[in-house]
Amino acid sequence: MTNILFEDAKPVIKKIKEQGFEAYFVGGSVRDYLMDKDIHDIDITTSARPDEIEEMFSKTIPIGKEHGTINVLFHNKSYEITTFRTEGEYINHRKPNDVIFVRDLYEDVKRRDFTINAIAMDESYNIIDYFNGKDDIDAHNIKTVGNAVERFEEDALRIIRGLRFQSQLAFTLDNETFDGMLQQIQNIEYLSIERIIVEFKKLITGKNVAVSFKNLLTLNAFAYIPFFSHYDMRHIIIKEPLPFNLFIALIQSKLSNVNAQLAQLKISNNDKKEIQTFTQLLTVLQTINTKQELKLTIYDYGLQHNLTILSYSQTFKQNDIALPSPLIYNEQLLRQIAQEMPIKNRQELDITGKDLIDYLEQRSGPWIKDALRNIEIAVIDGNLTNYKPKILEWVKEHVKI
């Protein structure tokens, strides 16, 4: 088992304990350690209050002090340390209206979502497991801490998180936990789309996504999520993990008669741009029949986007989205075409709009964009050499204003 991060953090826990407080590793890092998985970050929970943590360590950042979390900088590393706490009544199935700091570890872990995330571990690797989370890990079982209906009523995001863990870990959902999801699924409509998307991006790339996606459909979860609620997601087939942006493009391509707005997902502009590129590319690819036609497609949309779509060709086939024949749409040929491309972008053309204006003695206008596009196509198709004198000769015969 990998324990480097725990070893590095031992002095932090020891320093807290020297002041008379309890401190433990908790949550996902402990779960992943017990599963012999790579650990990327650790969380520490303690009986010390935020003010007491700030007094102990010289370099701290109060990133979530009102909720009990202090970021401690220790030996050039950063650690999130959170005080044992319980939570007041939840508002709109999203967040508690109050946080109460306590001194008891049990009170802290019993508020957590799933037993596999409610395991604590001390600096000597002794496990404190009040809710048999280790047994559930061994049994590959996802089960809520306490009553499932209550846990999901408190925070409906736990439903999506449970399905995300099922997808990532290839665990089975406990029957009572799944029944609780069914009873509370409508409450995900109260969640912010941003919180849902964070979980969904992990879910859709999980190795067990086929099962989790089927459960999303069984729960009718998409009906309560912006953007997705416009689509009949029963028509979408997902049997392998795939990137989130490609998943959205697949939906838009297969159910193209629906005009849902990407803005509803509140994702980054870069994500929206990539989704639009994938969607347009999928449309173009359904018209490609020759290597010659493929050249311009690779030029316009890039090698990497084409390779990404190619690597998920089985998913597109299952969703009745046609790709070009494997005789021309294969990795070897895609890379060969990209390698032999005479230009990579318009900036590499040996001519500019100003050159055209001067040569043709015309005023600037929309014709320039059209002319440059026609020159691009001729160069990519191999019908024109990317050399200014040759281009100007070609322009004289082929560009109409």
- For the segment 97-155, what is each residue's pLDDT rounded down to a tens digit? 678 899 999 999 999 999 999 999 999 999 999 999 999 999 999 999 999 999 999 99
Task: Taking each helix axis as running N to C, give the angle between helix 353-360 and helix 388-398, from 0 to 180 degrees, rounded to the nearest 10.
Answer: 60
| Per-residue pLDDT tens digits for 202-249 | 999 999 999 999 999 999 999 999 999 999 999 999 999 999 999 999
Overall domain count for the chain: 4
| Per-residue pLDDT tens digits for 26-46 | 999 999 999 999 888 899 999
Same domain? For 45 and 110 the reply is yes
Q: Provide the pLDDT for residue 94.
A: 58
The structure tokens listed for 366 are: 């929309």
Same domain? For 2 and 126 the reply is yes
Q: Provide the pLDDT for residue 362.
A: 86
Same domain? For 31 and 86 the reply is yes
Does the structure show a pLDDT above 60 at 93?
Answer: no
Same domain? For 325 and 374 the reply is no
Please check whether residue 326 lies inside any domain of the structure: yes
Confidence band for 359, pLDDT divided at 50, 70 and 90:
confident
Select from 225, 257, 275 the last residue of a domain. Answer: 225
77: domain CATH number is 3.30.460.10
Look at the block and give the residue holding tokens 């408190």. Answer: 154
Single-letter amino acid code for the residue at 389: P
Instruction: Answer positive or negative: Cα dihedral of 207, 213, 215, 221.
Output: positive
| Per-residue pLDDT tens digits for 363-388 | 888 999 999 999 999 999 999 999 99
Q: What is the mean pLDDT of the chain?
A: 94
Q: Residue 62 belongs to what domain range?
A: 1-136
Look at the block and give the residue holding tokens 């950042």. Answer: 61
Single-letter amino acid code for the residue at 87: E
Q: How far apart are CA 394 and CA 306, in angstroms?
A: 31
Please check whether residue 331 lies inside any domain of the structure: yes
Query: Which of the two residues, 90 and 112, has the higher pLDDT score?
Result: 112
Same domain? For 35 and 49 the reply is yes
Select from 85, 110, 136 the last residue of a domain. Answer: 136
| Per-residue pLDDT tens digits for 179-210 | 999 999 999 999 999 999 999 999 999 999 99
Same domain? For 17 and 132 the reply is yes
Look at the block and give the residue holding tokens 């159910």. Answer: 255
In degrees rounded to 5, what are phi and psi of residue 89? Answer: -70, 140
Please check whether residue 200 lies inside any domain of the structure: yes
Mean pLDDT along residues 47-64 = 93
Please check whether residue 232 lies inside any domain of the structure: no
* Beta carbons of 49 and 70 less than 8 angstroms apart: no
| Per-residue pLDDT tens digits for 275-312 | 999 999 999 999 999 999 999 999 999 999 999 999 99
pTM above 0.85, yes or no: yes
**Residues whose CB is less than 8 angstroms from the CB of residue 68 and which lie 6 or more positions away in sequence, other chains included:** 49, 50, 82, 83, 84, 85, 99, 101
Q: Provide the pLDDT for residue 2.
A: 63
165: domain CATH number is 1.10.3090.10
Confidence band for 313, pLDDT divided at 50, 70 and 90:
very high
Does the structure show a pLDDT above 60 at 1?
Answer: no
Each residue of 113-144: b (16+ CB within 10 Å) or e?
bbbbbbbbbebeeeebbebbbbebbeeebbbb
Same domain? For 321 and 302 the reply is yes
Q: Provide the pLDDT for residue 95.
A: 65
The structure tokens listed for 62 are: 């109060």
Does the structure show a pLDDT above 80 at 77?
Answer: yes
Same domain? For 76 and 201 the reply is no
Q: Provide the pLDDT for residue 88.
A: 63
